[in-house]
Each structure stands twice: as C-alpha cells, then as structure tokens.
Amino acid sequence: MPEIKTYREALREAIIHELDRDESVVLIGEDIGVYGGTQLITVDLLEQYGAKRVIDTPICEGGFTGAAIGMAMMGMRPIVEMMTMNFSFLAVDQIIQNAAKVRYFSGGQVKVPLVIRGPNGGGVQLSAQHTHSLESFYGHFPGLKVVAPASPNDAKGMMLTAVRDDNCVIFLEAGALYGTKGEVDEDNPIPFGKARIARDGGDITLISYGRQVALCLQAADTLAADGIDAEVIDLRSLRPLDEDAIVKSVEKTHRAVAVQEQWRWFGVASEVAAIIQDRAFDCLDAPVERVSGAEVPAPYARNLELAAFPDEQQVIEAARRVLYREEK
Amino acid sequence: MAKAAEPADGQAGDGRAGPGREGLVDLYRQMVLVRMFEESCQRSFRKGAIGGYLHLYTGQEAVAAGFLAHVREGDKVITGYRDHAHALLLRCDPREVMAELYGRRDGLSKGKGGSMHLFAIDRGLWGGYGIVGGHIPLGVGFAYALRYQGTDHICQLYLGDGALQTGAFHEAANLAGLWGRDGNCPVVFVVENNQYAMGTSVERSTAMTDLAAKFDAYGIEREKVDGMDLEAVLECAARVTQQVRESGKPYAVEAVTYRLAPHGAADFEKYRTKEEVAQWRERDPIDTLERKLLEAEALEADMIDEIKSGVRDEVEKAIEFAAASEQPAEEELYTDVLAGGDEYMGHQ
C-alpha cells in the first residue's frame, strides 16, 4: 500500500532498500556519516551499515567522485552524494572525461554503474555559487543519464532504477522539494525515458520537470478557471528524453510551452522546442514558447530571487500568447 | 593473464626472489620490443598512418618492465596516455596494440580509443587515460574495491612527474592515505619521473623537487629507485608489491628515469639540451641491461642479434597486421556509449 512520505524520506527509503538488497552498493560523500548528511537523507546509515559502506570523505569532490568511478569499474555500485550539485563542478573532469566515456574509449570493456545525486536548482536563497540547474549541462554529454524527479514517488522509484542501472546516472534532486509530501509505492522502480502526464488536458501542453512541474500544475488550475484545459507533462528524465510523449501531446493540443528554472540559452526548453518543430511541425498552431530563469547569476535577496525564477504568472502569460488570447 | 606476465622462471609475485637469468633475458627481450615498437610507431605517425597524439616510452622501459613483472592475476594496472609499453609488457599481442594505434577494428579497444586509451582488462590493463592526473582517483577507487571485495589483489597506478602537480593527484593521494590507514587501499603509486611534463622540467613545476617526499603529506610510505636500472626496479617492485598486498596500505615509488624520445608530435625540444639527452642516453636502460647480461654471460653477442632480429620481425608483423586490419564497421559509431543498450538517445 502506498504511504504518504516526504521527498526526502522517499529517497532515503530507496537508498536503504538498495543497501539491503545489494552489498556492492556503498555511499560516499562529505559528512554523510558521522554528521548525518546535510540533507538528512543518509542520517543514521553509518551506524546501520558501517564505515566501509557509508564512506565519509574529506572535501574533495574530484577525488571521491573519481574514486567512486574506479569502484564502479570494479563492479561496485557507489552512490555519490554531492552536498549540493553545485559542488559537482569540482568533479566535472571525472564525470565527463572518465565516467561518461570510459566505456566508449575502451571499446565496451568496462561499465560504470554509478549514481551521483544531490540537490539541484534554487529557491532557498543560497545565492549565486550555490544555485544552478545542471540538467542541460550534464544532459549534453553522451554516456550519461540525467534524471530530475519531481514527486516523492518518482524520487524513490527513479533512485531504485538509478542504482540498478549499469551507467553513470546524474540524479538531480529538487532541493526545494525535500519536505514536500506525496504517496510513495513500496518497491516500484520507475524506468528512465518515460514522461508522466501530470495533468490531462486538450488545449495546450505545458512541459516541465523538477520543481517547475508544481508551478505548471498551479498555472493549469488558474487557466482552467478561464476555460483553458492544459495538459502538464513531467519529463522526469532528461537523458534519455521521452520525445514521443511530448510529440503525442502536442499532436493533441497543437500548442506548447516549455518551462524550466535554468537559463534560457542552450537549455532543456530549447531542446523541447526543437523536437516539437522537428517532429510535430505540421500540428503546431503557434510557435512554442519557453519560460526560463533570468539570465543572471542567482541573487540572494528574496524578492530578486523570486524574480529570477519562472513564476505562475509567466507561465500563464506564455500559455495565453500561444493560445492567442489577450493578456489579462 | 598473469601467467604470461611472469618472467620465464615464474618467480613474479613470490615477492623476494629476482627473476633469475632467464627471466632477465626475457625482460630484456620485452624492453627491446617496447623500444622497437615505439620507433616503428614514430615512423608510422610521420607517414600519417597513426593519427591523433603519440607519446613514446623510449628510455623509460625499465620502469614498467620491472613493476609489471610483479603483476599477479587479478591485479589492476592503470596509467596515463604513455601506455603502449604497459600493454606490451602485460603481454598483449603487439599486433592488436598496433591495430589500435592504426584505428582498426582488431585494436585492443576496437579502434575507438587510440594510442592514449589502450585497454585489455583480461590482462589487467584497465586503461590508458588522456587527461594528466585524471586517472589517479580511479586507481585509488580500484584499490578500495579490491579490498572491499575481499581479494588480495592490488592496483599498480602509473603516473608521471607532471601529474604530481595536479589537484586530482593530491585529492586521490589523500584518500589513499586515509583509506590505507585501515588497510583498505592496496595501491602502488609508480611515479615515472621522466624529468619533464611535456616541456616543463620538474624544477620549473615545483619548488619541492623531491617528488617521492610529496607522499609524506598523505602518510604514504615512499622511496626512490633508479628507473634506468631494471634490476634495481625489479628488486624494489618485488618488495613493494608484496608489502602492499599484505598490508592493504598504499606505497609510492619514484622511479627516476628519462624520456629519450620527444614528448610527442611537434616537439622541437627547446626545453632541453642535446648534451643533457646524450648524458642520459649513456644510461639507456636497455644498453645497461645488455652490458650486465653480457658480463654475466647470460647473453652472448649472437643471441642479442637473434633477439633483436626476432623482435624486429614481430614489430614488422604488427605493422602489417594493423595496416591490413579493417576499419571499424560504421555501426560501431553508436555502440559502447551505454551499458545495457546502445541505442542512441535522441532523434537525429
């Protein structure tokens, strides 16, 4: 029976499930053991599983991520915690140059079953250096899988899938959603590359992932009051990306808005727009709109931060433009 | 795997005994093979038959020959991009090594890696890597896994003097020291100090030029060895590999050696003098070993000729094989991207 849990609890459950299921699974990262994990996802796990499986490291993202890649090549299944995904920049050489490519340049001799997880995106006033949405950055590289669950159930189900995957999975948690609640299944791995229809609708498709899914759902409710029936697609996984779900929905609605927290240039929304014009051009009744974050480093002040990320009004306005409705 | 990698009289790995006369002659032959292979690569590179970058091991042969003679089955070897010697000394088929450099389907990595990415995991070679220092954390992770999985295998991790100045080295060495404290990190750092990071000498790279001593900062035992003297390297390697296998603690050896060949393509060697190269050439590890074996009457002049002409043949055959091997099939472009399903993600 599904139970109501937070996004945080769901992640923790999935990790415990995998630690119990498979001894090759280990956790590695900064302050995940004795300290308990800054996101409280690994709290008490050191006591339960011991220091060989819950590996506290010094502050060295490149070093411990590289070591985890080495462990994975040897057949272990490490789950790397980035205290925040922003720190993964320090490990990018390891992630891109080794984890993503070693299978290819070895002619298929090795694999890297590895999860790199941590909070992604902003919304909690962490300002410029601690606020990035890294999905299009990591999504750019062949050899990686990139997922961004939005609900507690997806957080758990996709973590189960990530740990069992034989490749390096960049697992982007919506940091602002750790405390949100939802129904969570017992043991239900959710496959990558399958989008979720978060709301059925026939007039327009709002396409999003992560924290912005809730925003799109809110906007859809507001639009509904105005007689506009919006479909909301939660992409869930960015690489692989469920192109078919996007195309199928646009074939039905003929209109689309892609919403992302990250910067507009070279972002996921641009890719979504390109896919639609490529595969559903003849179905379109209006150009695809993109709603994105402001092209600035993330500010600290609450009012500026709110202004830097997409809000409901922007989504509604974009939707109305695509529907050729007057601005309200 | 290791069977082939052991010296002829099979004492590799028992820790103490030297390889004996036959073993030394065999290693002499292997070092000649590396030398002639590299010279042949250089010619093929100049003709355009080998693309990309090419980094030769010429002058450093005794280092890898000495350490790899002490690889046991199950041990893991990882190195940077100057990796041809490691593949050959782990007894990979020279024809397949050359085919990789030629970008052919019979290459060690199916022609998809090239000179810098030789892999033969069935022989213990877990790769050559192209980003200086970037492979060091991987090797430390290998070592952790080998203990975690309850084996007594070790990792031999080769790195150059240049790699010692990278952040990746310092982070990984710190982890190795930390994990090794509990016996959980059986890795041998083999520092191939060939004096130059491309054209930047050790003196111009660091104010603290005692490279072995850098490991002190991480609680890792270390020593220096004359990397131009095979017997010295063998003695050191036997002792160190056994100690690491038993203790699970990392150990570092700075093998002092010299790259007699240019760094790679387009190296006009402005950073060193001809006199300096000539001085080191007098200490050529192959010539030194040859002299010793002649003196000890383990070799005779006609045996040397025989060995050299045999190796020359083998290298020529490798070139012929590589040149005749087919290019990878076009479909190979999209394979080996992901494990468990190589479908290209995304429409084109």
**Is A281 near chain B, with CB under 8 Å?**
no
pLDDT of residue A328: 62
Q: Are A69 and B129 within 8 A, CB to CB?
A: no
Q: Are B144 and A113 within 8 A, CB to CB?
A: no
DSSP for B295-333, written as a single string: HTTS--HHHHHHHHHHHHHHHHHHHHHHHHSPPPPGGGG
| Cα distance between residue B100 and residue B119, in whole Å | 10
- The residue of chain B nearest to residue A109, with distances taken between CA atoms, is B121
> What are the extents of the domains in chain A?
3-184, 196-322
Task: Say whether A196-322 and A3-184 share the same fold.
Answer: yes
Q: How far is A271 from chain B (nearest CA, A)?
A: 10
Strands (E), chain B: 76-79, 125-128, 155-160, 187-193, 196-197, 200-201, 221-226, 251-256
CATH code, domain with B92: 3.40.50.970
The number of distinct structural domains making up chain B is: 1
Cβ burial, residue A281 (10 Å; 0-12/13-18/19+): exposed
DSSP state of A196: E
> Residue B165's domain spans which residues?
2-11+21-332
pLDDT of residue B9: 43
Q: How far is B127 from chain A (nearest CA, A)?
A: 7
The token pair at A203 is 């007039």
Question: Does any domain span residue B340?
Answer: no
Q: What are the pLDDT digits (tens) for B87-133?
A: 999 999 999 999 999 999 999 999 999 999 999 999 999 999 999 99
At B18, the pLDDT band (50, 70, 90 cuts) reads: low
Enter the ipTM: 0.96
DSSP state of B120: B
Question: Does any domain span residue B249?
Answer: yes
Question: Does any domain span residue B348?
Answer: no
Chain A residues within an 8 Å CB radius of B167? 62
Q: What is the pTM of this model?
A: 0.95
Cβ–Cβ < 8 Å for A255, A322: yes
pLDDT of residue A27: 98
**CATH architecture of residue range(s) A3-184:** 3-Layer(aba) Sandwich (3.40)
Identify the three-state secondary structure at position B126: strand
Q: What are the pLDDT digits (tens) for B154-209?
A: 999 999 999 999 999 999 999 999 999 999 999 999 999 999 999 999 999 999 99
Mean pLDDT of B243-264: 95
- Considering only CB atoms, B109 lies closest to which of A26, A98, A107, namely A107
The count of CB pairs under 8 A between chains A and B is: 158
User: For residue A197, what are the β-bridge partners?
Assistant: A233
| Cα distance between residue B226 and residue B231, in whole Å | 9
Q: What are the pLDDT digits (tens) for B298-309?
A: 999 999 999 999
- Considering only CB atoms, B138 lies closest to which of A57, A69, A113, namely A69
Domain A196-322 in CATH 3.40.50.920? The answer is yes
